[in-house]
A and B are shown apart, each in its own frame.
Chain A
């Protein structure tokens, strides 16, 4: 605990002898969501502590039902699978405002992690996310340069990675769009984790 010379706090014990904060129980696990896809269910654990803005934004879209009926529209083998922005007719769904990039949170774009997609503008993420299917070091924050801003990791796959890799390996056409559409039927909070 550090204080500048202007702050001199004293802890004064309350006269009633009431116990303050000495009884506690263990902290619980991070929130989890299930991505129900046409290929199976992928469960994500979300790192609210390290990426609060991204998790808050993502869960808001989950609550709004935004992701229901969207697709994994961009799949590049041994790189990542990306979705949450386009519907089954490949129309972009309207989103809320852009959020700050939390790529400096120390989390790495390793295989199985989920991160916010964005344009080349640093703080341009809205609803789209991607799951890394390889350790993508070059997506990590590396410095205050246009190429170094990185992509904010906000969770990881805890089950269904086989489904992620199945999607990753599926045939794609122009624009890296899967030839057989992979639909996100719904994303919902896991019971007991809310």
Chain B
């Protein structure tokens, strides 16, 4: 059987050991035999540079992914809005390949667009401004030049401000913009979109230039975690059992 798995928004951190355990169990139990594992962003709560592999949890996550890849399931990782500094050293340690956002794959004959999803939230202009800044080479080189502990402190500060800002923003602007979704599907000539980021799991039908298309949103791992499974029979969302 041919099978691909999609996850995102695990936000792994030492502060939530249950999510870490759920992820390791998922890799050991649900993934073996799959043809591919796609991690569409925010694997980590934050990532301040590949020298953050010094954090034992991060090294352990890389190790588990490397084991998955060694056992025959290729692992693909995409940047999220929290872990956009994941780079070559992490991928090498994890046996993973970094995918661009967006990436198009052919899933059983259907052109499928894979995205983290943050670029679709075009109504959140403050976030899009920040994204343009922090994805730039200048900003990244400047940030990575600081010592590791200083970067960790800065990221914690950024996260805390982001949480405060989110509380002030109306929920609707933090969801994907419908026109941005239609444009993405149209521009990449895809009839299916899989993304995460919004933490609003679901399956939506979208009409693009009179063509029926679909949008799958991956669930986060704050609770029980889960994944999207693609086989020749179609796609289905699987929520993992409670610990």
Could you count the A-B residue pairs with CB atoms below 8 Å apart for me: how many are there?
Answer: 148
Residue of A nearest to B27 (CB): A52
Asked if A25 and B49 sit within 8 Å, CB to CB, the answer is yes
B200 at interface by CB-CB < 8 Å: no
**Is B132's CB under 8 angstroms from A16's CB?**
yes
Known: A12-B104, A27-B93. A46 touches B135 (CB 8 A): no
* Subset of 18 A-B contacts with CB under 8 Å: A1-B97, A6-B2, A9-B99, A9-B104, A9-B105, A10-B105, A19-B135, A21-B79, A23-B87, A25-B51, A25-B144, A30-B59, A31-B59, A47-B63, A48-B56, A50-B63, A50-B66, A55-B60
- Residues 93-126 of B, flagged 1 when their CB comes within 8 A of A and 0 if not, give 1000111111111111000000000010000000
> Across the interface, which residues of A come within 8 angstroms of B61, CB to CB?
52
B214 part of interface (Cβ distance < 8 Å): no
CB distance from A75 to the nearest CB of B (A): 28
**Alpha-carbon distance A154/B103, docked complex (angstroms):** 37
Count residues of chain A with CB under 8 A from any CB of chain B.
44
B43, CB-defined interface residue at 8 Å: no
Across the interface, B28 reaches (CB within 8 A) one of A47, A48, A100, namely: A100
CA distance A21 to B59 in the complex (A): 19
Given contacts A29-B54, A55-B59, 6 further A-B contacts (CB under 8 A): A7-B107, A16-B135, A25-B51, A25-B89, A48-B56, A52-B63
A2 at interface (Cβ–Cβ under 8 A)? yes
Taking CB atoms and an 8 Å cut-off, the chain A residues in 24-40 that contact chain B are 24-31
List the A side residues contacting B93 at CB < 8 Å.
Answer: 27, 49
Bound Cα distance from A20 to B137, whole angstroms: 9
Q: Which residues of A contact B66 (CB under 8 A)?
A: 49-50, 52
The reply to whether the CB of A161 lies closer than 8 angstroms to some CB of chain B is no
Given A52-B67, A100-B28, also A24-B103 (CB < 8 A):
no
How many chain B residues sit at the interface, stated as a range, is 35 or more
| Chain B 12-65 interface residues, beta-carbon cutoff 8 Å to A | 24, 28, 35-36, 49-56, 59-64
Q: Chain B residues with Cβ under 8 A from A22's Cβ?
A: 87, 137
Contact A28 B35, beta carbon cutoff 8 Å: no
**Contact in complex: A31, B144 (CB < 8 Å):** no
Taking Cβ atoms with an 8 Å cutoff, the residues of A that contact B are: 1-4, 6-14, 16, 18-31, 46-53, 55-56, 59, 100, 189, 192-194
CB atoms of B50 and A26 under 8 A apart: yes
CB distance from B90 to the nearest CB of A (A): 7
Complex Cα distance, B51 from A9, in Å, reads: 29
